[in-house]
Amino acid sequence: MQDDPGYSIYEHVFDPAEMSSVVEAFANAGMPRTKAGSRHVLTVAVVRALAADPRLMRIAAQFVGPEPVPFRATLFDKSPASNWLVAWHQDTALPLRRRVDDREWGPWSVKAGVLYAHAPAWALQRVVALRVHLDDSTATNGPLRVLPKTHHRGVLSDREIERLAKDVAAVECVAATGGVVSMRPLIVHASSKSTGDKSRRVLHIEYASAADLGSGIERASG
């Protein structure tokens, strides 16, 4: 649908107390950390439970069909002590179970022991990410910024992304604790460094229409 802006903001999906419980359980899970947070956290029981929560499944179903499959989750943890910016880009890599001999897929890489390939637009169009806010996201703690409707343009070159960043008005996706932001992987997006003193923790959970993409191509889970 050309009217689809590529993102939506859902306020008050979860109670803040529920998010506090997720934060506590996650802290006790002892996942490996990077500067930005933790990859492949769908292995943590509290994250798997959250990903399967009917409230998230209902939102995901609006974008990928009646039986959404959560296949990847990432914790982003931005704070004054761990601060970074992300330039304008699209999310084009998907985790796969095995290599395939198909020119549409690649280049290939391995991240935290998981095989990844840059995917064609048709595969990415079957995915939506739901960003569950464990803290308030505000204009001062480096929120997600998007360029609306840019996901309709397919996989873009760096030069095309640079041009769109100049021509399309950006939108800041802020939400209170317990809010959820949906985003299509092909929407051009970025985030600035935090300029405040509040943490911004987000669980970025990705859902697909099915685990099997056909032709022997299967998403990995993590």
**Nearest Cα to 88, choosing from 152, 198, 167?**
167
Domain ranges of the chain: 7-91+127-213
What's the rounded Cα separation, in Å, for the pair 147 and 4?
12
pLDDT at 195: 84
Confidence of residue 16 (pLDDT cuts 50, 70, 90): very high
Q: Which sign does the torsion angle of CA 30, 135, 42, 115 carry?
A: negative
In sequence order, the β-bridge partners of residue 173 are 144
pLDDT digits 0-9 by tens, 127-157: 999 999 999 999 999 999 999 999 999 999 9
Instruction: Give, in words, the CATH class of 7-91+127-213.
Output: mainly beta
The predicted pLDDT at position 19 comes to: 96
pTM: 0.94
Of 220, 203, 218, 198, the closest CA to residue 52 belongs to 203
- Residue 56's beta-bridge partner residues? none
pLDDT value at residue 176: 97
**pLDDT grade, residue 27 (50/70/90)?**
confident
Give the pLDDT score at 218: 85
Is the pLDDT confidence value at 1 over 70?
no
| pLDDT at res. 54 | 98
At residue 111 the predicted structure's pLDDT band, cuts being 50, 70 and 90, is confident
